[in-house]
């Protein structure tokens, strides 16, 4: 077993604290990654606080993991020692169901094995990237483009793929108008990616102060969403609404902004459900859909797309000792636009 240092939540709503644990030995198909950076996703906060009800403790969060391969198993073919590698939200899946065979491991019929707070195939609790190292089967490891910085590319592994995947699935591109709700970690990646796809992007934000940033990131327009009168001029304007908001809010007001046959795509996952008004869907044959991260093949495609377009996340890098304070700032919407932990601070 490999002694590993990390930061963990020992119970729901307990602050994260230093934690020692063991990783499995490097198996024939495994790679050992020395972690340099890990992003802080709002899902880490929902999970450590058990807001979705399925958390397992102790929990080392973190699923936007970048580092360097430091050891490989005897049968590993896809990576070499010294490669820059990434690990996203899952580290295994059944590999045999139709979803896995199609490269849609995130929709595995048996359930993907999450990077943390899951049980692996041996029954051990998985632990995430707020730690010094991780052991992962090579099939679930991404090759990180060296054209991008390690810190700036870490958030691509969740925030990037979560917004890229639905855009590709629904064929979002030129001639479309997209509304992005919430300008946080996911939202700012959505703006950059949609802009690179040639799409007209409008940001709806509860934070008036984010307007200049929205335009800099590639948005054509910025709307302060707390003032409901601001929404009316966009009635039946958008082909797609991508909702990244992390807290309970009114969906119906935004459904009204879709054209006939338009689709509202939910990626934000608030703690509590919200009511839906059927008539606004019925009258213009609108759809509401959801999407979760992306498969390994598509994640690699997204990384290569971002390298080609020089797209990184806007990050604020912090030492691990500031993680609890960072969580509070994320909840208050105060990060521009992703915290990334420098894991050298744990070494």
Binding site for ligand NAP (CB under 6 A): 41-43, 46, 158-159, 162, 182-187, 205-207, 210, 244-247, 249, 267-270, 291-293, 330, 333
Residue number closest to ligand NAP, CB atom: 184
272 Ramachandran zone, left/alpha/beta (phi>0; psi -120 to 50):
beta
Cα 91 to Cα 296: distance, rounded to the nearest angstrom: 10
According to the binding rule CB under 5 A, does residue 41 interact with Zn ion?
A: yes
**Bond before 262 cis per omega within 30 degrees:** no
Stretch of 86-94, 128-136, 190-198, 236-244 contacting Zn ion, by CB under 5 A: 86-94
Nearer residue to ligand NAP within complex by CB, 46 or 286? 46
Q: Nearest 5 degrees, angle CA 164-CA 8-CA 91? A: 40
Q: Which of 4, 36, 48, 93 binds Zn ion (CB under 5 A)?
A: 93
Total residues binding Zn ion (CB under 5 A) = 8
Question: How many CA atoms lie within 13 Å of 215's alpha carbon, on the beta-carbon side?
Answer: 7
Among Zn ion, ligand NAP, none, the one that 93 touches (CB under a kind-dependent 5 to 8 A) is Zn ion
Cα 244 to Cα 190: distance, rounded to the nearest angstrom: 9
Q: Report in angstroms how near the CB of residue 239 gets to ligand NAP at its nearest.
A: 20
CB-CB contact of 159 with 182 (8 Å): no
Nearer residue to Zn ion within complex by CB, 108 or 151? 108
Would you say the C-alpha torsion 120, 124, 128, 131 has a positive or negative sign?
Answer: negative
Q: Which of 36, 43, 132, 153 binds Zn ion (CB under 5 A)?
A: 43
Among ligand NAP, Zn ion, none, the one that 211 touches (CB under a kind-dependent 5 to 8 A) is none
Q: Report in angstroms how near the CB of residue 55 gets to ligand NAP at its nearest.
A: 13
According to the binding rule CB under 5 A, does residue 191 interact with Zn ion?
A: no
Helix axes 185-196, 296-308, angle to 10 degrees: 70
What would the DSSP string read from start to end of 118-185?
A: SB-TTSPBP--SSBSEEEEEGGG-EEPPTTS-HHHHGGGGTHHHHHHHHHHHTT--TT-EEEEE--SH
Q: Report in angstroms how near the CB of residue 187 gets to ligand NAP at its nearest.
A: 6
List the x/- string, 96-125, binding to Zn ion by CB under 5 A: -x--x-------x-----------------
Q: Report in angstroms how near the CB of residue 185 gets to Zn ion at its nearest.
A: 8
Q: Nearest 5 degrees, angle CA 43-CA 314-CA 188? A: 60
> Applying CB under 5 A, which residues contact Zn ion?
41, 43, 93-94, 97, 100, 108, 158
């Amino acid at each position: 077993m490999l002694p590993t240092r990390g930061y963990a939540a020992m119970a729901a709503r307990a602050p994260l604290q230093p934690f020692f644990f063991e990783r499995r030995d490097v198996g024939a198909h495994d790679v050992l990654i020395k972690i340099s950076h890990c992003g802080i996703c709002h899902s880490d906060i929902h999970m450590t606080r058990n807001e979705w009800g399925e958390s397992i403790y102790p929990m080392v969060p973190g699923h936007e993991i970048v580092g360097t391969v430091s050891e490989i198993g005897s049968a590993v073919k896809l990576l070499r020692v010294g490669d820059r590698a990434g690990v996203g939200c899952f580290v295994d899946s059944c590999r045999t169901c139709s979803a896995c065979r199609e490269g849609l491991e995130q929709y595995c019929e048996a359930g993907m094995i999450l990077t943390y707070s899951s049980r692996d195939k041996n029954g051990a609790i998985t632990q995430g990237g707020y730690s010094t190292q991780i052991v992962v089967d090579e099939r679930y490891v991404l090759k990180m483009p060296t054209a991008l910085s390690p810190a700036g590319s870490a958030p691509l592994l969740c925030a990037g793929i979560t917004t890229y995947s639905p855009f590709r699935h629904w064929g979002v591109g030129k001639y479309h108008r997209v509304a992005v709700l919430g300008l946080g970690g996911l939202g700012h990646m959505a703006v950059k990616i949609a802009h690179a796809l040639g799409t007209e992007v409008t940001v709806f934000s509860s934070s008036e102060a984010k307007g200049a940033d929205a335009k800099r990131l590639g948005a054509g327009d910025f709307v302060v969403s707390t003032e409901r009168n601001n929404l009316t001029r966009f009635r039946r304007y958008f082909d797609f609404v991508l909702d990244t908001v992390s807290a309970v809010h009114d969906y119906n007001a935004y459904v009204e902004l879709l054209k006939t046959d338009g689709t509202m795509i939910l990626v934000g996952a608030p703690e509590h459900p919200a009511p839906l008004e059927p008539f606004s869907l019925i009258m213009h044959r609108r759809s509401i859909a959801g999407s979760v991260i992306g498969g390994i093949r598509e994640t690699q495609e997204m990384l290569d797309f971002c390298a080609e377009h020089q797209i990184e996340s806007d990050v604020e890098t912090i030492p691990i000792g500031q993680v609890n304070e960072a969580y509070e700032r994320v909840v208050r919407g105060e990060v521009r636009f992703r915290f990334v932990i420098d894991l050298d601070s744990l070494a």
